[in-house]
Chains A and B, each alone.
Chain A
């Protein structure tokens, strides 16, 4: 089926099966590499995108359901995004594979005022896994960006 998706402020026409997941369509048809599949079952957060500003797991969201909504991936954040800058300043990454999902989740937490304490930041990031184990610096980066 033909779908029109609004991705990072741009309308993109794609041809997808009704059961195709959003992350696969974004990767294979829109050509974005920021959303990534690790677990494929909604538990790790590497496929996180913002849907009208809300973080969702693109690996368990069927692409047609994203029609008519504004999809934001890491590629769509402004160059000077404060969360991105804070991750960089705090060296909050190793391989980087989980980081776009972390940044987008943090972006939402900060926008909603849900990053006021370390405790709250840990809770908020609980669904974003990082096998390199960069959590300490990621938490610092989010804390700093929230200030």
Chain B
């Protein structure tokens, strides 16, 4: 056997993805990810570093009244809220967080920390600290938290200066609603309406005339639970202060937001913070904005030495989740199937802190409208504080929750009207030049091809027997507004180095950048290397989220290559997509281009057990032009597999706010045993634009399965569609969630 162990010792100094100039090509030779010849964040170390453990609240709401630390060794450093008094609050869209809190707002909130010479010492020390609390009443469900008179999670509302707060917030004073987003198409604007609609049976009198032309109305409520990202690599951060400058090596999808937020927290200039991003062992949204970085930096400052923080698996589960949501949809149509109006109320449970919940609420709002024409659309999306762990970005970004409801409702409407469910969709699809509910005109619309493709995949015949079959078509936005910058530098050895902040979360960013640069520069791929995202070396990028990187970075790189050809050794490229929506009317530019997709399912349901057996699960996602065929396929397959878990078994459970399944034996994710039915297509068109694909196939999967299940008479409203829920849906029972908290 060949001996290679020596090459993989943890390196000295911060690890660097791709290892900068001189690194091997991202696309030639055996890929080093297979043979563990790359360093992830967790593999990075700084010589002499100590180890951090966070002490977390055991109560969902209240005050810390004291700590007993008598048993701690003398060399252990103990940090509490007293150590953060000179630090600023933070939060990517609402600055509602402190680095260590006296007033915990969820079970798991960081209230103190210990730093010790070894990881084991730190673990022991953390277990020796006793905490005294004074509890206050708490609230967990989104509908409970929006109810009049609900316990307030935060005594007041905050704002944020961060770049990530890219739209105006509409906090509702005296309530747990930290942001309200609305869409009102022109005829519905300027009405006298309640500020907050807290009840799922609200008659909606102010806008009832929107449905005047509808012969049939379907008005139903759906629920999705909290879910876990489960990046295989936990959050891992190393921090040190070098001559007053903060250096953080961490797995993050948002290196420039991280730099800005850390600078703000510690009162530094942005240039005095350096964020280096090694490879990540998966993220799916879990590694966005401040996670372990601020506390590790604080500990390094107090310890006067480098500090490392790696989360345990149960901490990863509690660090950030997917927003539990309740979505009510009211759809009105004429007897001939023409859609007239749509009304959506989305209640988004953002947990104890807003994080990017306001943005998620906004996307949930318009994704639920779907790729259809309406005379009138009105949407209310409420981002609601509760005493659960914070919800954050999650592959699918809010779209999944409302599409689960919206596409089930389209099938219900088809049943009521006696119209074929695919034909009903076709009849109402948005086409090129049609106007979306935000006022923007659709371009590059591919919905009909996508719908036909998904229908064909399950042998759908117009007005044929559709038992066991479901078809869904969706649209989803991309981060707008955003900016991307890239630099290409000609190295002395004649190769080209791409400098870009797109983080490699496993989606193949290195390969994508390499292939694109080679194409634009008209050189071989092995003449291109890509440097690690390091805020000292690469230009600004909004962030690696919302499947925006391929689309935005491809244009920035093309620009940089052109610039290089003109200017010699360094080329700069810059693109921005402008837009944004008015928070009160939802008018404006939701997305500079649309992610478009479809899915279909064919399945059986066992009447005895409620078990769903898929024979086909299919998704088709519009890619326009594909840069890296395998990468595109992997993204599409991975999205479907995540969607499958969401549909059938993924659910975080809580008892009195305490997560009861924060481990991989009680929280199941899909394995190789679950994928036999999966087929898919990445749709290209000649001359198409480059479209991102990172999550398009997540949202359509649950309703495709749900619609197929419903053909057998099981009307499941709450995800996941576990066997118990399927059986309960047949009996018409309302399913009590295992948490004992009513899911709606």
Which residues of A line the B interface, CB within 8 A? Answer: 7-10, 30-34, 36, 38-41, 43-44, 46, 72-79, 84-85, 87-88, 91, 93-100, 103, 118-119, 121-123, 125-139
Contact = CB atoms under 8 A, between A and B. Distances in A.
A96 B33 CA distance: 5
B506 A95 contact: yes
Nearest to A84: B34
A132 B671 contact: no
Nearest to B676: A122
B30 A94 contact: no
Interface stretch (B218-226, B269-277, B279-287, B475-483): B279-287
B672 A122 contact: yes
A139 B34 contact: no
B738 to A, nearest CB: 20
A31 B379 CA distance: 55
B408 to A, nearest CB: 24
A121 B39 CA distance: 29
Interface in B1-21: 1-10
Contacts of B231: 131
A143 B633 CA distance: 18
Most chain B CB atoms below 10 A, which of A41, A95, A103: A95
Contacts of A39: 313, 663-665
Contact of B233 (A95, A119, A139): A95
Contacts of B43: 33
B669 A131 contact: yes
Interface string B18-39: 0000000000001101111011
A134 B233 CA distance: 16
Contact of A133 (B34, B631, B637): B637
8 contacts: A8-B5, A38-B234, A74-B35, A79-B2, A88-B31, A123-B673, A131-B230, A135-B641
B361 interface: no
A33 B36 contact: yes
B678 interface: yes
A137 B8 contact: no
Contacts of B210: none
B232 interface: yes
B186 interface: no
Interface string B250-288: 000000000000000000000000000001111010000
B369 interface: no
Interface in B677-726: 678
A97 B281 contact: yes
Nearest to A141: B34
A136 B35 CA distance: 20
A134 B231 CA distance: 14
B499 interface: no
A95 B279 contact: yes
B672 A43 contact: no
A9 B313 contact: no
Interface size classification for chain B: 35 or more
8 closest Cβ pairs, A-B complex: A95-B506, A96-B33, A97-B281, A133-B638, A133-B641, A91-B630, A34-B36, A31-B9
Most chain B CB atoms below 10 A, which of A119, A128, A135: A135
A71 to B, nearest CB: 11
Contacts of B508: 94
B5 A75 contact: yes
Contact of A134 (B505, B637, B669, B673): B637
Nearest to A78: B2
Given A99-B33, A137-B637, A9 B3 contact: yes
Contacts of B2: 76-79
B507 interface: yes
A82 to B, nearest CB: 12
B642 interface: yes
B150 interface: no
A125 B8 contact: no
B227 to A, nearest CB: 12
A7 B5 CA distance: 9
Contacts of A99: 33-34
A128 B634 contact: no
A9 B36 CA distance: 18
A131 B394 CA distance: 13
A10 B5 contact: yes
A78 B678 CA distance: 33
Given A9-B3, A87-B34, A136-B637, A122 B673 contact: yes
Given A133-B638, A136-B675, 4 more contacts: A32-B8, A77-B35, A97-B506, A129-B671
A123 to B, nearest CB: 7
B356 interface: no
B233 A97 contact: yes
Most chain A CB atoms below 10 A, which of B3, B282, B640: B282
Contacts of A78: 1-2
A138 B33 contact: no
Interface string B68-85: 000000000000000000
A75 B634 contact: no
Interface string B234-258: 1000000000000000000000000
B36 A77 contact: no
B393 to A, nearest CB: 15
